[in-house]
Amino acid sequence: MLTAEEIVRVRTSFDMVFANANDTMTAFYDRIFELAPEIRPMFPADLSVLKQDFISKLAMLVGSLDPTTGLLGGADILGRNHQKYGAKAEHYPMVGEALLWSLARGLGPHWTDELEQAWRKVYGVVAQRMVDVGNAPPAPSAGPSQRM
């Protein structure tokens, strides 16, 4: 579980990254496809909308972190969507490494061991939730993918 202090750390660092969101997102997707070129065809050719979607969803998730409940507005829908995109549990660690790498790159000297640990926890909580929801049987009323 994240401590209140870790949440503050993650939020403050996120605000810094957000100021340079496009660069960080470009580095993030470049890194994913460097680590796993075989998954490139799963993604749209033009990543510009996806970059914006990812950073806004991350903003929402980071904003909804809560030391008592953990999270997580929005992670459930993301989990269901990702099952449809073909994301598998084994892809999540690699995407997490790419995210941490791009955050470290964007934050430069502000990236510390404590911050890395806090971001690892955030990613772990979100990814676990997405995987769990993706593995669950579909809800009877499940409709087409919803982007929030």
Question: Is 95 an interacting residue with respect to ligand HEM (CB under 6 A)?
Answer: yes
Put residue 90 in one of left, alpha, beta given phi > 0 → left and psi -120 to 50 → alpha.
alpha
53 lies in the binding site for ligand HEM (CB under 6 A) = yes
Extract the tokens encoding 33.
């496809």
Binds ligand HEM (CB under 6 A): choice among 1, 4, 8, 42: 42
DSSP string, 73-93: TTHHHHHHHHHHHT--GGGHH
Question: How many residues of this chain bind ligand HEM (CB under 6 A)?
Answer: 21
Query: With binding defined as CB under 6 A, does residue 81 bind ligand HEM?
Result: yes
Q: Which is nearer to ligand HEM, 119 or 123 (CB)?
A: 123
In the list 17, 72, 107, 126, the residue contacting ligand HEM (rule: CB under 6 A) is 126
End-to-end CA distance of the chain: 25
Q: Under 8 Å CB-to-CB from 143, ≥6 apart: which residues?
A: none
Per CB under 6 A, residues contacting ligand HEM are 39, 42-44, 50, 53-54, 57, 78, 81-82, 85, 87, 91-92, 95, 123, 126-127, 130, 147
